[in-house]
Amino acid sequence: MASEVAVLSTRGRVARGLLSAYALLIYVFLFFPIVLLVLFSFNANRYGTFPITGWTLTWYRQAFNDYQVHDAVSTTVKVALQVTLISAVVGTCAAFPLVRSRLPFREGIRIIFILPIMIPGLLIGVSLLVLFTGTFHWTLSPETAVIGQSVYTTPFVILLVAARLQGFDTALERAAADLGANAFQRLRRVVLPLILPAIVAGALFAFTLSLDEFIITYFLIGGHNTLPIFIYTQVKFGITPEVNAVASMLLGASLLLLGVAFALPQLVRRTRRLIVRARTA
Amino acid sequence: MTVTAAAAPQRRRRIRLGHALSEYSGFAPAVVLLGLFFLVPLGIIVCYSFWETIDYSTVHHWTTGNYSYFFSVGAYVSTMWATVWVSVVATALAIALAFPFAYWLSRYVPKRLRTPLLVLVIVPFWSSYLLRVYSWLTILGEHGVLNRFLQWTGITNHPLGLFLYDRPAVILVLVYLYFPFGALTLYSSIERFDWNQLRAAMDLGASPLTAIFRILVPQIRPGIITAVIFVFIPVLGEYLTPQIVGGTGGVMIGNLIVNFFQSAEYTRGAAASLLIAAFIVLLLAVFRKSLSSRDAYGI
């Protein structure tokens, strides 16, 4: 590969230079708005814009003391935990027959499972609104929002766990059966530990998606606020650095969780290797 | 003796039934969740779009009135076409911007740097969608960074209101939101391209651009179509972007739908929602052939 890069013609080198500059611009385009958002949350200027009149944590302090923010945070976390639990359980259960059973119309079923991700969230939101209020006559609450978000997050868990199961060496299970393990023991001692990283990654993913979800929640949560809904209602009255502070914290939380979700499989592999090495040593 | 002979097939059938039950039982929770709370509501929406709203309550009276009402109001029809237009432009721009980027990433970047650089593109995509829309307010708004910059350089001495609250702002933010989707999909199909073919074409006298459009592009067509679909569908149902940066000039069909539902006109809202669904089905039908190949999913 290295020699291939070295033998580029002059024209090739010019193309590479231009495209690299272009790519750099793309990265600037992608990160500039987010960087500004965070920057202004530390800016003393109370209009949330340039010039930077001084560095301050006032807006964070204000956000921490705002009871509306407290309410929104606790609702958001409660909803996200329920969504995570539901989608991890439902998604993992569904991944098994999707990969392992002799399924007629496997592709069709797979597409139905993926459909909630593919269609605009707006459609999920309004159709559930009609079901809950028009057909069931339920009162909207954080619980109805949990159902709506779960419809949207479960497919991600199904995809992640199914991918892991697909690459699963079934010989391990047969070996366990030969050694006398029954179906439950095989599941508990062999299969689950091996697919656990995918389940945990899926759960973290669902948690993050739930933290940030707006449109489905907007329709289904009734009089309550999650953080995105709170930010949205504040934006209607104009930009304030306090919203920037709340937004920056939400951003930090989701990036942290995603980082863990992506790094987890590798972390688990590494720790396991360390443990094995420690045992053999 | 005769009893066991008769019972044997029955027992076998029972075992087979039990086997099938344990084989498919994992689907049960998903069937409840996605059946009852996804497919059933979609069916109900279809019914609602053919029912009537009288005095804020829904009457089960079959009619196509909601659709004819929608098409009889000029503002709704023009919003619908504007939505399609904005979606087409935003999708085209997102993919046109993503192509050179994916090309650069898969051709000129050393292999070990590719994944981190790709992840860097996806990071904003997985950060909050609301925040990414909101962050543009701080740039395009009246006291926004862009106006500050123009005033500072002396190009203008008063804040200009023209950056926000119109279609260009909506398109810009949509391109920003969905660029990572396009880049990711295109990259995963360009990555598998054999660059020797491009070199061969150029050895035979093709200019680089001719080689790209006649050799590379036809081979990654499934990837391009997937990118188009994955960008176009969510854009079509956008609500937040036009709501926050679009103002009255940038209204899209998603805003109409939300307004219908907020004013308790469920049946009209249902009809408008189904129009979005109809466009999606149309799009998928047009590209059905390219999608049926496994290639389209970048696997």
Q: Is residue A60 part of a domain?
A: no
**Could you say which of A33, A102, A126 has the minimum Cβ distance to residue B136?**
A33
Q: Is residue A55 part of a domain?
A: no
Residue A94 shares a structural domain with residue A36:
no
Residue A230 shares a structural domain with residue A269:
yes
Residue A223 shares a structural domain with residue A157:
yes
Q: Tally the domains of chain A.
A: 2
Q: Is residue A16 part of a domain?
A: yes
Q: Is residue A49 part of a domain?
A: no
Residue A32 shares a structural domain with residue A128:
no
What is the reported pTM? Answer: 0.84
Residue B88's pLDDT is 94
B130 vs A228: CB contact, 8 Å cut-off? Answer: yes
Q: Is residue A9 part of a domain?
A: yes
Test the A interface: residue of B16, B40, B138 with most A CBs within 10 Å:
B138
Domain range for A31 is 2-41
A239 vs B137: CB contact, 8 Å cut-off? Answer: yes
Query: Using 50, 70 and 90 to split pLDDT, how confident is the model at A126?
Result: very high
Q: What percent of chain A shows pLDDT beyond 90?
A: 26
A211 vs B128: CB contact, 8 Å cut-off? Answer: yes
Q: Within a 13 Å sphere around the CA of B245, how many CA atoms are in the beta-carbon half? A: 28
CB contacts under 8 A, A 160-189 vs B, are none
Residue B23's pLDDT is 74
CATH of the domain at A254: 1.10.3720.10
- Between A231-235, B12-16, B62-66, B140-144, the lowest mean confidence (pLDDT) is in B12-16
- Residue B276: pLDDT over 60: yes
Q: What are B53's strand-pairing partners? A: B58
Residue A171 shares a structural domain with residue A218:
yes
**What ranges do the domains of chain B cover?**
2-49, 74-297
Architecture in CATH of B74-297: Orthogonal Bundle (1.10)
Taking the Cβ of residue A256 and every Cβ of chain B, the question of whether any pair is shorter than 8 Å is answered with no
Q: Is residue A57 part of a domain?
A: no
A243 contact residues in B (CB cutoff 8 A): 134
A30 contact residues in B (CB cutoff 8 A): 121, 124, 176, 179-180
Taking the Cβ of residue A52 and every Cβ of chain B, the question of whether any pair is shorter than 8 Å is answered with no
